[in-house]
Amino acid sequence: MVKTRFAPSPTGKPHVGNIRTAIFDYLYAKSQKGQFILRIEDTDRERMVPEAVKYIEESLSWLGLKWNDEEKVHQSDRLKIYNEYTEKLLKEGKAYKCFCTKERLAELREEQIKSKQPPGYDACCRKLTKEDVEKLEKEGKTSVIRFRIPEKPGEITWNDTIRGKVTIRTDIQDDFIILKSDGYPTYHLASVVDDHLMDITTVIRAEEWIPSTPKHILLYQSLGWEHPKFAHMPHIVGKDRSKLSKRHGDTAIMDYRENGYLADTMLNFLALLGWNPGTTQEIFSKEELEKTFDLKKVGKSPAVFDIEKLNWINGEKIRAMKVKDLMKKVEDFDSDFLKGKDTALVERALTVMQTRMVTLKDFTENSNFFFNDIKYSPKLLIFGKSTHDATLHGLKSVLKALESQKTITSGDSASDTMKSVVEAENLSNGDVFWPVRVALSGQEKSPSPNEIMWALGREKSIERIKTAIKLLEG
Ligand code: GLU
């Protein structure tokens, strides 16, 4: 049974890159009918942000990445367990106490850099005898526990599910810390112990963790455990191929929600950052992703974060929705927006706007003219090539035509009304369609007058055209 975990450190709001990891973990588990768990890696007390767990859970919930709640853990609740395994390693001579001070380590590092050696711990405390340790402890010296890298140089190799065979020399590893002086484990120890105890079958994580993997494999070997499979995902880069940064769109996933992107869009878009479905299909529902996602089809070359593609996917998903469902999304997005508004008018306005929306914000920010009184300068009513008189004539004729009708049945019928005015009165399109559009929307740019007229309905349209006529005559 496949079991994956998303193991974020609660250091802030999860960004799109972190969430892509969660999505891959989730989709891989789902595609294999396996389990997906959430593990909060809160052992670095200095980097913790109090609200971060809330942000993490909020983000996952928004996307519908359901984790198995019974198995959710916070590593800070499990210190006893990590301590036990540290004791075991100490007893077996596979780890040792290190009393080196911060100052000494900083000096060492400086020297190494100066003499162009790779920085790392020089294993100074490896040689301490039992008596030395006892003496130092009696003196009240604090220590950390370090892992003892096997003396014999060798190689660590693993078969990465995404990158194939990866080999790293053991002699370039230094004796890394597994337990800190505050009694908290480091990431290395805690993640190995937990992945083992939680029966994680595949560790899916970002490429930046590759250098840690040999350390983990050595730990597994020392503890007599088999290691899980590893799958290191490709980097995400901007369109200019440089490392993804804020400027490319690397912000908190919830910022995307706030900007009117659908959860389904983010899932779809982020799943394609590295995963190649092997077909030309680009739009996927959550259910489709859960079925077709395949870890073997994840490539190792960097995935390009293309905001235009994200916008395109969002627009496509918006257009594919039934208006009623879209209205629900608008409500989830901005619960105040629909308050006090006529539902039938909202539906019609959405129908008009749906074809041109990229985000939900495009509706909540640009559709006010459907619902509220409008203000505009009378000058705007006159099209570039038209005149004051022709415009007034056009508006008055449309008004007359509308007054003789009972209702506006569709955008097409509204368009027919205006076309007949153009012909009968020997006017140009600019004398009619433009001023009507401005009269109805108050905007320089807006959907077509036919669509707005249909959405507003006969009465409201008549009222607004009358106002426009008054403005021109004023
Ligand atoms: N806590 C690590 C992180 O925040 C987890 C890395 C891993 O998945 O092993 O990325």
pLDDT at 14 over 80: yes
pLDDT over 90 at 249, yes or no: no
d(CA 178, CA 456): 68
C-alpha–C-alpha distance, residues 39 and 9, integer Å: 9
- Across 314-339, average pLDDT: 97
79-233 CATH: 3.40.50.620
pLDDT digits (tens, 9 = 90+) for 65-91: 999 999 999 999 999 999 999 999 999
Give the pLDDT score at 326. Answer: 98
Spacing, Cα 8 to ligand 1 middle (Å): 5
What is the predicted pLDDT for the residue at 247?
A: 85
Q: Say which CATH class 378-473 falls into.
A: mainly alpha
Which of 18, 39, 41, 212 to mutate for ligand 1's pocket (most ligand atoms within 8 Å of CB)? 41
pLDDT cut 70: percent of the chain above it: 100
What pLDDT is stored for residue 152 in this prediction? Answer: 79
Instruction: Quick: pLDDT tens for 272-285.
Output: 999 999 999 999 99
If you ran DSSP here, which 8-state letter would residue 199 be given? T
pLDDT at residue 250 is higher than 90: no
Would you state the structure tokens that stand for residue 433, as one six-digit string? 């369609």
Task: Indicate whether residue 352 lines ligand 1 (CB < 6 A).
Answer: no
- Position 361 confidence tier, pLDDT thresholds 50, 70, 90: very high
35 touches ligand 1 (CB under 6 Å): no
Residue percentage of the chain with pLDDT more than 90 = 94
Mean pLDDT of the chain: 96
pLDDT at 246: 85
What pLDDT does 39 receive? 98
CATH 1.10.3720.10 for the 1-69+234-320 domain, yes or no:
no
Amino acid, res. 175: D
Pocket probe mutation, ligand 1, options 187, 202, 233, max atoms within 8 Å of Cβ: 187
Distance 9 CA to ligand 1 centre (A): 7
Give residue limits of the domains in the chain.
Answer: 1-69+234-320, 79-233, 323-367, 378-473
Tell me which amino acid residue 66 is: K
Rounded to 5 degrees, what are φ and ψ at 365? -100, -25
How much is the pLDDT for 369?
97
Residue 150, pLDDT > 90, answer: no
The pLDDT value recorded for residue 68 is 95
Q: Is the CB of 209 under 6 A from ligand 1?
A: yes
Are the C-beta atoms of residues 54 and 314 closer than 8 Å to each other?
A: no
DSSP secondary structure string for all residues of 352-414:
HHHTT-SSTHHHHHH-HHHHS-----GGGGS-TT--HHHHHHHHHHHHHHHHT-S----HHHH
Residues forming the active site: 246
pLDDT in tens, 394-419: 999 999 999 999 999 999 999 999 99
Give the three-class secondary structure for 67: coil
Can you give the pLDDT at residue 245? 86
* pLDDT at 118 exceeding the cut of 90: no
> In which band, very low, low, confident or very high, does the pLDDT at 329 lie, cut at 50, 70 and 90?
very high
- Is ligand 1 within 6 A of the CB of residue 205? yes
**Same fold for the domain at 1-69+234-320 and the one at 378-473?**
no
The more confident residue out of 154 and 25 is 25
